């Protein structure tokens, strides 16, 4: 082959990261050398996000940054994939002539074949099988640390929220058959993964179109049977399909982290209707109360939006009161962004950006206090923690960045652990016992007590 070294930049959510891992795994299988640094890579792939305006700008900035390596590095082919490339191929080609190939999410299975064509190399017999890679693939090259991985259980979405372009980009929900997911999870566990994070655009609706009803609970129980998995957690669960049996299962199963990410976006009934959010504010209140009652240690994460068209000050204050009276441990928030082709983009009563930003600031200032109070309640408790990285000091002490069941990778805060003695030095991927000694708004501090083996035994 003319060019063989491939580097990649993955932007946006963890679901996009899985796309990158599948692409890299397939290219590696076909003989490419993947994982090269940007200055050494002969082919650079930028996997873009196109969810909201700020994500689009981040993607454009990354493309322009990587384009510089065509002048200063070894780059000969600059490839742009992902949601942004799927949505705006014509516009991007006109604005970014330095890019050699724009490739959308619906064409991922043929990417390797296209790269061979651009390189002028001979196509390999193995290319035919590459057309099977879309979702649920065990042939992935992990971009996460070797001890943790994401399991994407579906692609696309059927909810059709009026502000969201994901269905326009990725289409309707396509759940991966359960047996295929279990094969993938077993392969990940056999490779050394002990923490598995279950993701989709709407995890709690998993399997509806395959099995006639949501099957997330059943999938989680099957995943718990995989011996080498130690922690399993759930992100992106749509509120209306979170029910009491699912909560009971997450609360009671040892391997399932008592943690759920439930993006509500708003609590005002009129805002939920305008957003075309299924379910109701009443259900959100009821299931939140039930989760809190099921276990005092259950961690709740959510995402909310400010400045949606027609949002009044009364709507905003209702959301503020709800978050105060039903405190979430973690809250991500963003201002509404008008996305091309979505119903909300043409709605009347668009909220000025400055007002949406003010409301966002008020909401997050309140949430900082809530998060700090909830974190302070954990001071003095002992937790199991997964080591992410370790730094050894000259005086024999060490610090380690870790996470307990209460902190999801890549989106939540960290637990900073301190200890002494080379004999007590943990390694990334180890599970340890720790005592929480101090709390901040998002991060915690603690001290190492003792190591725990990956199977949970001391």
Superfamily of domain 148-376: tm_1862 like domain (3.80.30.20)
- The rounded mean pLDDT for the chain is 91
Task: Give 83's contacts (C-beta < 8 A, 6+ positions apart).
Answer: 12, 16, 48, 49, 50, 51, 105, 165, 166, 169, 170
- Say how many residues make up the chain: 458
pLDDT value, residue 342: 96
In this structure, of 99-113, 309-323, 355-369, the range with the lowest mean pLDDT score is 99-113
In this prediction, residue 378 carries a pLDDT of 96
Top CATH class, 382-452 = mainly beta
Distance, in Å, from the CA atom of 266 to the CA atom of 268, rounded to the nearest integer, reads 6
Is the pLDDT at 62 greater than 80, yes or no?
yes
pLDDT at 128: 46
Residue ranges of domains in the chain: 5-130, 148-376, 382-452
Q: Predicted confidence band at 133 (pLDDT cuts at 50, 70, 90)?
A: very low
User: Percent of the chain, pLDDT > 90?
Assistant: 78
pLDDT tens digit string along 69-128?
999 999 999 999 999 999 898 999 999 999 999 998 878 778 888 888 888 765 555 444
**Which residues lie across from 304 on neighbouring strands?**
265, 333
User: Is 193:149 a contact under the CB 8 Å cutoff?
Assistant: yes
Q: What is the pLDDT of residue 132?
A: 40
3-state DSSP percent of the chain in helix, strand and coil, to 5: 40, 25, 40
244-285 confidence digits (pLDDT tens): 999 999 999 999 999 999 999 999 999 999 999 998 999 999
CATH 3.10.520.10 fits domain 5-130: no
pLDDT average, residue stretch 297-314: 97
pLDDT-based confidence at residue 130 (cuts at 50, 70, 90): very low
Measured CA to CA, the distance from residue 335 to residue 316 in angstroms comes to 12
Distance, CA of 271 to CA of 308 (rounded, Å)? 8
Encode burial over 242-269: b for 16+ CB neighbours within 10 A, e otherwise: beeebbebbeebebbbbbbbbbbbbbbe
In the structure, what pLDDT confidence band is assigned to residue 428 with cuts at 50, 70 and 90? very high
């Amino acid at each position: 082959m003319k060019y063989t070294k491939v580097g990649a930049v993955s932007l946006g959510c963890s679901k996009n990261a899985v796309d990158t891992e599948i692409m890299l795994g397939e290219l590696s299988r076909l003989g490419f050398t993947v994982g090269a640094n940007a200055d050494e890579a002969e082919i650079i792939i930028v996997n873009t996000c196109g969810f909201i305006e700020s994500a689009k700008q981040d993607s454009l900035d990354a493309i322009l940054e990587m384009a510089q390596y065509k002048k200063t590095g070894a780059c000969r082919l600059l490839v742009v994939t992902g949601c942004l490339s799927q949505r705006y191929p014509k516009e991007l080609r006109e604005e970014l002539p330095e890019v050699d190939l724009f490739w959308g999410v619906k064409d991922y299975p043929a990417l390797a074949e296209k790269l061979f064509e651009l390189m002028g190399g001979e196509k390999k017999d193995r290319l035919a099988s590459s057309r099977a890679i879309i979702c649920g693939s065990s042939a992935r090259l992990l971009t996460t640390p070797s001890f943790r991985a994401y399991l994407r259980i579906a692609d696309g979405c059927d909810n059709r929220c009026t502000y969201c372009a994901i269905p326009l980009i990725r289409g309707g929900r396509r759940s991966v058959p359960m047996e295929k997911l279990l094969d993938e999870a077993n392969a990940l566990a056999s490779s050394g993964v002990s923490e598995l994070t279950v993701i989709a655009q709407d995890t709690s609706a998993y399997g509806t179109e395959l099995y006639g009803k949501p099957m997330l609970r059943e999938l989680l129980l099957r995943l718990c049977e995989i011996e080498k998995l130690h922690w399993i957690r759930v992100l992106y669960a749509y509120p209306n399909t979170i029910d009491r049996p699912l909560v009971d299962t997450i609360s009671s199963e040892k391997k399932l982290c008592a943690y759920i990410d439930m993006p509500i976006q708003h609590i005002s009934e009129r805002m939920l209707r305008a957003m075309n959010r299924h379910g109701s504010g009443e259900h959100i209140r009821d299931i939140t109360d039930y989760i809190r009652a099921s276990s005092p240690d259950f961690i709740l994460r959510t995402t909310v939006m400010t400045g949606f068209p027609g949002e009044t000050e009364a709507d905003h204050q209702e959301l503020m009161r709800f978050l105060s009276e039903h405190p979430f441990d973690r809250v991500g928030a963003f201002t509404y962004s008008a996305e091309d082709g979505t119903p909300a983009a043409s709605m009347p009563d668009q909220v000025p950006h400055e007002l949406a930003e003010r409301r966002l600031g008020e909401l997050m200032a309140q949430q900082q206090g809530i998060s700090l109070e909830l974190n302070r309640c954990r001071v003095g408790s002992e937790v199991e923690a997964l080591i992410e990285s370790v730094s050894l000091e000259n005086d024999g002490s060490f610090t380690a960045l870790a996470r307990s069941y209460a902190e999801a990778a890549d989106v939540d805060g960290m637990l900073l652990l301190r200890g002494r003695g080379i004999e007590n030095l943990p390694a990334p991927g180890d599970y340890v016992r720790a005592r929480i000694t101090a709390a901040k708004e998002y991060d915690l501090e603690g001290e190492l007590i003792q190591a725990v083996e990956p199977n949970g035994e001391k």
